[in-house]
Amino acid sequence: MGNIDPIAKKKYQKRIKNSDKAILVISTSGDIFAVNKATVKLFKGISRKDFMKKRTVELAPEEQSHIGKTSFEYGFEMLQDLWRNHKESLEGEFQFKDFEGKIFWSKVQARKLSFGGDQPLIEMTIIPIEKMSKNQVTFQSKKAIKSNSKIEINQEFKNQKIGIQSKDSLMNSNENTNSLIQKISDQIQNLNMQKKLLQLSQLEEFIRTKVVEKQKEEEQLIEKLSQIKEEITNLENEYEKTEFKKD
């Protein structure tokens, strides 16, 4: 995150520091950039210093149960919606997990943020809620309807296997069976596509993690080389002083 304006960053951190709203700033690669007291209090059981060392995947359960997707997949889709569709902000509901292991519901308000660095940042305001919204209830209802539809398809398939007596009924049965086979084929294709997208998303997160680890290793190596160089310089100076005394 090079070229960050330190003055702008300091002003921002001062503004959110004492806010009663839980505010979390993250990078698109999942690093935590800034966090205020309200957020540390909300997630419990950890200091702000240790919180800053975490990654966003550690703040949520493995799966978002209300939509049947992993937290990583759902969070990735939200980021895509924010950046690819050129939105300044978005709002949605998300399940988080505090550091004591308790899962809680929250409304998330996300917006783009920049301090002049080379990596875009996202500010997340996290507002805990007690119950699911109407949208979630509607989603659950749709999920139930979808489940009932599968039962109806299975029943339709069973009905087609019996009670066929005439030529006309046989033709109708063939048409219905072909339609059923097409529906099942479409569903299988959709499931395969979702599986591939999830695998690609997980691979991207793995690569990002390895890149960050590599950068940290390089920084540590540079620091070590600098220390060695400084020690060599000190030894040379001491040697010169010793030789000067002999002369």
Instruction: Indicate if the pLDDT at residue 170 is higher than 70.
Output: no
In a domain, 142, yes or no: yes
Asked if residue 93 and residue 34 are part of one domain, the reply reads yes
Q: What is the pLDDT of residue 33?
A: 86
Residue 215 placed within a domain: no
Report whether pLDDT(145) > 50: no
CATH of the domain at 87: 3.30.450.20
Q: In terms of domains, do 95 and 159 share one?
A: no
Given a cut of 90, whether residue 126 has pLDDT beyond it is: yes
The last residue of a domain, from among 131, 156, 188: 131
Lowest mean pLDDT among 143-152, 209-218, 222-231: 143-152
In a domain, 235, yes or no: no
Number of domains in the chain: 2
Examine the domain organization and report whether 16 and 115 are in the same domain. Answer: yes
193 occurs within a structural domain: yes
Share of the chain above pLDDT 90, in %: 25
- Residue 147 shares a structural domain with residue 97: no
Q: What is the pLDDT of residue 64?
A: 92
- What are the pLDDT digits (tens) for 46-78? 999 999 999 998 999 999 988 889 999 998 888
Same domain, 94 and 22: yes
**Residue at 221 is within a domain:** no
Lowest mean pLDDT across 79-93, 169-183, 223-237: 169-183
pTM for this entry: 0.50
Residue 96: inside a domain: yes
Question: HEC string of the chain?
Answer: CCCCCHHHHHHHHHHHHCCCCEEEEEECCCEEEEECHHHHHHHCCCCHHHHCCCEHHHHCCCEECCCCEEHHHHHHHHHHHHHHCCCCEEEEEEEEECCCCCEEEEEEEEEEECCCCCCCEEEEEEEECCCCCHHHHHHHHHHHHHHHHHHHHHHHHHHHHCCCCCHHHHHHHHHHHHHHHHHHHHHHHHHHHHHHHHHHHHHHHHHHHHHHHHHHHHHHHHHHHHHHHHHHHHHHHHHHHHHHHHC
Q: What is the pLDDT of residue 42?
A: 95
92 and 186, same domain (yes or no): no
155 and 172 share a domain? Answer: yes
**Average pLDDT, rounded, for the chain:** 76
Segment 173-217, tens digit of pLDDT: 567 777 778 878 777 776 776 776 677 767 777 777 777 777 778
* 94: in domain: yes
Answer with the one of 101, 131, 161 that is the final residue of a domain. 131
Q: Which domain holds residue 37?
A: 6-131
